[in-house]
Chains A and B, each alone.
Chain A
Amino acid sequence: GQNIDQPTEMTATEGAIVQINCTYQTSGFNGLFWYQQHAGEAPTFLSYNVLDGLEEKGRFSSFLSRSKGYSYLLLKELQMKDSASYLCAGGNNAGNMLTFGGGTRLMVKP
């Protein structure tokens, strides 16, 4: 099985940079996903890391270290619309199953 841990809440200031950490303990690990979920809406896919290193997509970047069981999502130049929950999810070798963490609720303040 898999165990995914991430902080429950974070607060940051508009224009700043924030890093949301995720640690995982898994058997058959096969990649790490990040999703964004605004209140009352469905999650939307942000990024996927299967190899160690940093993947950059505009203001968002995601990092993975397989040896440390660790990932982070980096959000730059924060905007008010970035206030949302960010879900970390681990992929599993057995099929295409994902195990989701509880999500990190990010509040961006002016």
Chain B
Amino acid sequence: SQTIHQWPATLVQPVGSPLSLECTVEGTSNPNLYWYRQAAGRGLQLLFYSVGIGQISSEVPQNLSASRPQDRQFILSSKKLLLSDSGFYLCAWSAARLGTGGSQPQHFGDGTRLSIL
């Protein structure tokens, strides 16, 4: 069965510090990978998605970046964190969509709660 691991679970960082959040998927090949952010009491905002190694699409311009150095590894980074970067960060995976078939469900990691001081 497929599993998704995301770490750390909680992180407290000062403004201006760098960030690296890591996500790995097991039990599947060539997954689609996603990074979301969720502000308290709000919905999910898609930040980045990837359909393959080295292929990253950004949905929201900001001081965050993402990389996919291996098939099942997805990293979210920042060089200098802002107060507004606080939130609950979620990594998700899905199987690649098959041709013109229906969408595939996305499955989420446990999330990282990031607090910027």
Contact = CB atoms under 8 A, between A and B. Distances in A.
B43 A95 contact: no
22 contacts: A31-B103, A33-B106, A42-B110, A43-B44, A43-B90, A43-B108, A44-B108, A45-B105, A48-B102, A50-B103, A87-B44, A91-B103, A96-B94, A96-B96, A96-B97, A96-B104, A97-B46, A100-B43, A101-B43, A102-B42, A103-B42, A103-B43
Contacts of B102: 30-31, 48, 50, 91
Contacts of B32: 95-96
B76 interface: no
Interface of A: 30-31, 33, 40-45, 48, 50, 87, 91-92, 95-103, 105
Nearest to A94: B97
Given A31-B102, A41-B111, A95-B51, A102 B43 contact: yes
